[in-house]
Every structure is written in C-alpha cells, then in structure tokens.
Structure 1
C-alpha cells in the first residue's frame, strides 16, 4: 500500500510539473502588447481563423534576431498529443522579420512586430490553448505568452449577480451562466467531458477553473453557483497619461530630464475606507501613445515613472507591489515599493513607454498570496468584465476544444 501511495504521489507530481507556465521577459524587453480583435493587449481570446498580433521593444537596440514557436496545450496546460502538422498550416520556428529602430528618442530601442497568420505561418487548424514563445538566436526562450482560440459552436449566456452571502454582499460579484450546445454539437457526459474557465478583466492569474454544471434544462447546462463563482469586486484602477512627455498632464505632478525623462505622479492613498466612486478605467490595460511624433511604436519615449503610496496599514511581513497589465500582472523585485523615510511614503520608479496606463497597488503576503483589495478596497459596484470559455473533449477525442465563449459586465449587476 505504501508503494502504491508513493507511486500515486509521484504521478500527481509529474502531472503538476508538466503544466506549462509563461516565461517572464528579461528587463531589456519592454512594452509587450499581445492582442486579437480587442483594442487592448493581454491574453488574446480569438475565434479560429482570426488574427493575433504581438509587439515588443528591445532596449538594447542592436537589431537582434528573434524567432517564434507555437505549442498546443490541453485545458490544464499540459502538452496535447497533437503533432505540429495537426495544429498548424505552414511553419513556425521562424525569424521575426518586421522590426524597426526607434527614431529621435533618448532611450534607443528596436520595436518588433509579429502577426499570425502570415506568409509562413498561414494559420491555426484547431481550437484550444496555445503558447507563443519568443526565442533568441541560440533558440533560448526569451519570454512566452498564452492565448486561446475558440470555435463559435456553443451558446454561452452570462450575467453578474450580487452574492447571496450577506457577509460579502457589498464586496463580491458572482457570475451565473448557461451553456447550450445547440444543434451543432451533442455534449455527452458534460460532468466529465466539459470544462469551464472564468476570466475577470482578461487576467488569467485570477481565473476560476472547471466548474461543473449544477443541472440541465433540455440541452442547456445551468451554472448558478454562489461562492464557487464569486470574485472580489475590487475597485476601479488608478491611471495616468504621459503622451506629452514634457508636460504635467493627467495625474502627473511634474517631469524632469535626467539622462532620460522622469515622470513624477501625485501621491496615492489607501482607498478602501472611502465610499465607492465610479471612475472609468480600461480594466488594468495600457495603450502606447505620444503627441511628439506620428508613429508611437518607434517615436514614443521611455520614462522612469515615479509612484508614491501613502500607506499606514500594517503589512504584517507582506510587500506592496505595483499591479497592472503593463507587465502581464507579474510581481517581482521591479514592482515592489519600498519605504522612503524622507517622504513618509512607499515609492517605486518603473520604466514605461509613453501612453495611458491603468495600475493599482496590491499586497503580497508572506505565503505568496495576493490581496488585490488591501489598499483599494472591494465594492460590488465596481465595473469588471468577465469572460467564460467552454472546453469540450468528446469521447475518443485527443485534445480539448474550446467550443464557445461568453461574456458579461458588472455594469448590469443585479440581485
């Protein structure tokens, strides 16, 4: 029995370690924008046959050779059985040919762009989870990003509700949804073969995985959970815009030229004790822009943005981090604020390209968990966008298809 238990644990460990994770970029790779049909970058969720676009800057600016690779994965991000010829029309492991040097900027950089499909990678054949990896000339992974491709088969309807748990009724939002296979697909044994993924604000790091249908009405699968599909409401993101690099514009106190431009923001404060105030945001995203040139991709400046948070909340050994899609919601030493005794505030300087940015401050606890509302609070009125992905592997299937996508916005929240 001990041997069997050991073998089972080893098997589980192998399954867990087989799950792929995104590779974070090095410091010299900045302003990664990865998008499909949406205006803002993030984790693209595109229909089969649609276009995805990736762009990034190399601050070394030496016109380095970069290559790209595509891989297909199952629902749980373990490698699928499919061969490259089964997922791809054309070839990958190909050099990125579309790049251009920055023009008239203090910080030199090379701007790279990749679009799929293209003349070499003509398209993707199947739906599901994908990983796009960018490689250097030694075929080492520089960074990677996940994306999802779906087929528009199942009908997914969703709505945002207030939680029925009175303790959190003013702080949480609950997503209820239904899935209907319609006439195009017969969903067999949905409890085992159908899986779901709920993504708030295009942030897969906060996703809820694999809820099972509670019951069915004809061909319709019903998901009306409360706690299981609940998200903290959060608060609207803070923002700044520095498209005019030499002026003190929206939420910017002053600018200075020290080798390159420095942008000093007005100090922020803890918001969780304040009443909720609607402040339109772009749900954590960013958009590169400049008024000093015609092409922001190569004419926008890089600037050290100085953040300041006046915080008097106990951290209990935790860390304050800057949070947003500007770095794919990654927390590391570069996003950590430190206490400045002279200013009696927590401060950070972070290198960013000109544009419009959403951000917030979060607490990283000693155990590694992240409290998104510790400084900004949680409110059921907060505007959030939710996306539901439906994965299906029929009996005898070799991979997990994404057969439908639904969405809902909390602007229309109801009891």
Structure 2
C-alpha cells in the first residue's frame, strides 16, 4: 500500500469501537480552563479545529481528578457533574467529522509547581533532583486510605467523561505523573501493599483500570500512556514496562500509547540526544514498541519523533504499531492529518526550542511552555506562530504562570 492508503486505514478496537484512520493526536497540555478549572469556549474551538483537520483519534491534555492537585494553572478538573454541560460541548466539538475524542485523566503527584497547591503528595516523600527542586516541592507520602480514594476519583472522572459524550479515556501513566511515580522504584519506595516490588508498584495502575472499567462498562475504550522507561538511574526500566504492558493487556486495556522519559529526563521531547539510527527511523521508542508487540496483541500507539508520512507508514507496515501519535506538529499545523492523507508533506518540522539558558533548555518545561502558547493562539481563534522565539515564550510564560498561580491560590483560599 502507499503511505496514504496505510495511514487512511481504519482501526477496530477489541471493545467494538472503530477509529477512522491511523493518525492520533497525542495529549498536550493546553492550560485553557478557567481559573476555577472549568472547560469553556477556547477548548471547544481548539478541539473543533483539530477535528476539522482530519485526525482519527484525538486525546485531550491532562484532565485532573482533584481541584487540590493541579499540575498547572488552567487544568480542567473533573470531580463531579457540575460542569457536565460544558464537558458535553467540548466533547461534541472535538468529535466532529468522525474524530474519536478521548479524555486523558491524570493526577500530578509531586509534579506540581511550588505554590500552586496547598501541598503535594506522592507514593513516597522523595524530592526531585537539584535542577528541579527549585520548581517542585518535596511531597508528602500518601496514606493507604488516600490511595484508595484516588482510585475512586480516577474511576469517577472516567464515568463522567462517558456521560459527557467523550469517545474514550486514557490513563496518563507516563512522564513522571502520579501513575508513573507509583510504577517507578526511584519515586515509589513504599514497603506496604502499594510498593516494594514490581508487582506491588503495578497495583495502583491496575486498580485504576479496574475502577474505570467498573464505572464505564465493557464497550467503552480505556487506553493508557505508558513510559517505555524513565531513563533515570534507579527508575522504571524497559523490563518492568514490558511486564506492565503484559499485565495491562491481561486486565483488558484497549490501547497502549508508548512514550518515555520524565521532566528530569525529557527524552520524549528530543531535547536529549538520540542515536542516529533512531533518528533515521524517526520514532524515538520504536525498538521498545517492537518488543511490546512481541509480548501482546493489544493495539499499540507510538508517539515521539515522527516527521514524515514515510516514517509513519514504515512503523505501521512493520507491524510494530497500529497508530502513529503526533502532537507538537499539530500545534503548528492543526490540519496536518488532512495534508498527510492527501499525500502532502508537513509545512513545518518540529525543531528544538531554545532560550539560550542552558538549565532551562535541558528540561521539558520549555517545550511545554512554547507549545502551550501555540494551543492558546488556536483556542483564541488565531493562527499558530511556528517561528515564535523560545526566549520570548519562556519569559512571557514565566510571568503568566506566576500570575495565574497566584490567582488560582487566591481563588481557593
């Protein structure tokens, strides 16, 4: 088949849902909610633009399960049905043109900026390393009853997403957020039922999946974004990740998105140097995807590094993956799927975002800030600005985030 024919194929999931093509918009942080964490017109406009752009599966940025545990100002929070009408409008806009819109459900754990929440919690009271400790506070260790309550919150958010008309949900189990923290021996040093061995560290994510399934039923798709590895000494390894993939498949997960890295080791952004062989194959984590494919038959989605229809097609044709995840390109070209499906090349290539400040450029925070600004432009009805200065975006974002953090804390005081 030609690249266009390969990418245009529909994909049938085991739960009975069909995705219209093999292109998926991976989650990106939008930070477009109101100060009191409610969705509105900007999110409707952004996701409406993406649906019009031809994407088959579109996954939202992280929707938090607790107003007292934000990952950043402007997160959407789903705790109950208070915003059901607004969620329905968002789901309707993002589901146009046959796009499947899935809500990514998340809790930041300790990965929450200092001053935003009253406290941060995590599996264990382990601080970040020296470069990150100025941005993130040392967390308090979660009590066992709090962990059980969090599992219920994940399930409740999934049930509300289904009620609002979203086509599925995704557990955020990657990039150093709470589920990822539970899986990692570096961050989870508990000695109770929730830690101490790989099997016990997996207990949290499996409990979250089970509770979500209980609340949404068998025919509603549940996916997960999972690290291939943390790429940190003492962290989540490929071997543990493959065991987690097997356990999730056995538990009935519908789709596994493979990524990798954390804010401390941001390999998912390309900031860290990748091997020449990896760069030629485009996808950062394709070798791991091949191992995962040998282990399970669950549909796999691979995100990170794709630059061309040929690279995407090669990954799918190899049988290693079923869906290609694109994210940063969609912030610059919301209609990229339509272009790829018409046999046209991308207008813009993802490039390293640099401020000239070495410490900042080594972290994923700069990448998040720059692309979040592009999403805001689309949400406000403006065109993205692919040539925007990294230093300017960092400076503006620093001021805006500081002000919104202050306003958020004041609102909840």
TM-score w.r.t. the length of structure 1 is 0.26
Determine which structure has the larger helix proportion and give its number: 2
- Higher Cα Rg: structure 1 or 2? 1
Determine which structure has the larger strand proportion and give its number: 1
TM-score w.r.t. the length of structure 2 is 0.27
